[in-house]
Amino acid sequence: MEILHTDKAPAAIGPYSQAIETGGLIFASGQLGLIPDTDALAHSMAAQTVQALENVISVLKAAGLTLNHVVKTTCYLKSMEDFSLFNEIYAQYFKDHKPARSCFAVAQLPKDALVEIEVIAAR
């Protein structure tokens, strides 16, 4: 088992790793729309979604992978009213490659974020 870390994505805000690799699978912790340089949340749902996906890309890049290696995403939204907007942005990142996905509305996310995205990728 290998712990993965990059300074190009926000540091973990609790006692966990950005990602763990084991058996050819990468389990990436949920990424918020935090801007790595400032640790501030991006200003809107759209901006947070883009930033969360960019943070996912940075974590995967640290493992030498891309979004094309993702086999499963789990997405958490503060409000299902944002589902259509979220899908529009998500689809720009996952064009031809469409991993399995779950998407839930949750009561609250860390730092009062509007979206969180976690992924599982395979080598």
Determine the Cα–Cα distance for residues 107 and 79; give it in Å rounded to an integer: 8
> DSSP characters for the chain?
-EEE--TTSPPPSSSS-SEEEETTEEEEEEEESB-TTT-PBPSSHHHHHHHHHHHHHHHHHHTT--GGGEEEEEEEES-GGGHHHHHHHHHHHSSS---EEEEEE-S--GGG-SEEEEEEEE-
* Residues forming the active site: 103
CA dist., res. 82 & res. 16, Å (int): 28
